Chains A and B, each alone.
Chain A
Amino acid sequence: MIKPKILYVDDEPLNLMLFRANLSKKYEILTAESGITGLEIIRNTCDICAVISDMRMPYMDGIEFIKASARIKPNISYYILSGFDISDEIQEALDSMLIRKYFRKPFNLKEIDKEIDCPEQSN
């Protein structure tokens, strides 16, 4: 069995670590501390099933990152995380189906696990 790959982008290292610690049993977790490194991983890795990104990050915010990433890999499911209530920008991204869902921080990892639809692949 091969675990499905998930990329998580957040500028807070502690969030990355906790995410990895809590979900690495079920998924292969890739993490990036910025949209730029995130894009690099997207380019160099195949079979990423889902991408979860924080909204507020320096240099490139979550929506910008997801837009750029979706141009490279349109088939991945994208999700956004934000400490703020839903904003016009996020609503737009939801309406245009750029992202599948929006999670508000603090996020319940179980809820994310439930939402992400990445079947384990047998090999």
Chain B
Amino acid sequence: MPKFKFEYKITLAYLLIGSLWIIFSDKFLITIIDDIDFLTDVQTYKGWFYVLITALLFFLFLKRHLKDLRTTKKELENHKNNLQNLVLEKTKDLDAAFEQLEKKNKEINLKNQELEKTLTELKEAESHLLQAEKMASIGILTAGIAHEINNPLNYILGGLTGLQQYFEEEKIENEKVTLFTGSIETGIERVNAIVSGLNKLSRNKEAFDEECDVHDIIDNCLNIIGNRLKNGISVSRHFAKDLPVVKGNVGQLHQVFLNILVNASQAIPDKGKIEITTKNEKDAIFIEVKDNGCGIEQGDLKKVTDPFFTTKEPGEGTGLGLAITYNIIEEHKGRLEFESEVDKGTTVRIELPKS
């Protein structure tokens, strides 16, 4: 049996009941009432009665249904509002989350940049450390070698002193003896210079809290090597006006500038210039020594601070100058850099921290 919807059913029921009511009530009234006028009246009342009853029924029925509908509607609206609120809240939450994410993203980006910086710094530190380590192990080794060489050297010197005394006492004096003892003496001096250089290279700590006036030190060094500078070399100084003193070891810094200035003058064949510039910057002072000498081959640039690296004639250079210089600058927590072009010249740059 097909299911009818409620409205169909009730309309059908109404039609049926109404028709039945009209048919049967009329028939019934006809059988009990003979008077036509009275019958008409009763039929009118019956009509009114029917209308009233159905109106009442309709009213009750509609009331119940509409009430249901209204509550449902209200509930729905409530629901809708709730939903809307919920959505709003969720959206807000999402916005906050999004904002946070964006912040996090920015942070990560920053961190990334920092990491990258740290990485380059680390890489620099590593090469620095490698160099320092190389120097440290060389230092230990050379200190040992220096000590071991000193003892036999002592025998030679003692023996020579004895011989010279003996010759003197026996009044043996001839050219050959002076030549031989003289050459032994020169030999000893040469070895001694090397060993003392090695010793300086491996020197253990000294005071690094002296006030160092770099301008004073440079001027001193220029005075010291003044007569060793060839006539054709001009020296110009471009000193910063407000260069502060730095903490360090005055003696060692003298050694640094002596080494560098001597190297510069040795690089100039006969005519040239040496420019010394100092700069005062935020955390450090900078000293540049620039010469227009022979320059350094690209491949040698990394080796100049290696102990015993030298391109000079035997006897003229031990190759320890810049190794010692590097060590001293390192101990001052500074930096030593070289820039050079063959036949154009060399610039040595030193950075010394202010504190």
**Which A residues have a C-beta under 8 Å from some C-beta of B?**
12, 14-15, 18-19, 21-22, 56, 83-85, 87-88, 104-110
Contact = CB atoms under 8 A, between A and B. Distances in A.
B188 to A, nearest CB: 7
Given A12-B151, A15-B154, A15-B155, A88 B161 contact: no
A21 B155 CA distance: 12
A108 B160 CA distance: 10
A13 to B, nearest CB: 11
A19 B158 contact: yes
B190 interface: no
- Most chain B Cβ neighbours within 10 Å, of A56, A83, A106: A106
B262 to A, nearest CB: 21
A84 B143 contact: yes
A105 B149 CA distance: 9
Given A18-B155, A22-B158, A84-B199, A106 B150 contact: yes
- Most chain A Cβ neighbours within 10 Å, of B143, B154, B203: B154
- Most chain B Cβ neighbours within 10 Å, of A22, A85, A88: A85
A95 to B, nearest CB: 12
B15 interface: no
Given A12-B151, A105-B154, A106-B153, A83 B161 contact: no
Given A18-B162, A22-B165, A84-B147, A107 B155 contact: no
A110 B161 contact: yes
Nearest to B202: A85
A107 to B, nearest CB: 7
Contacts of A110: 161
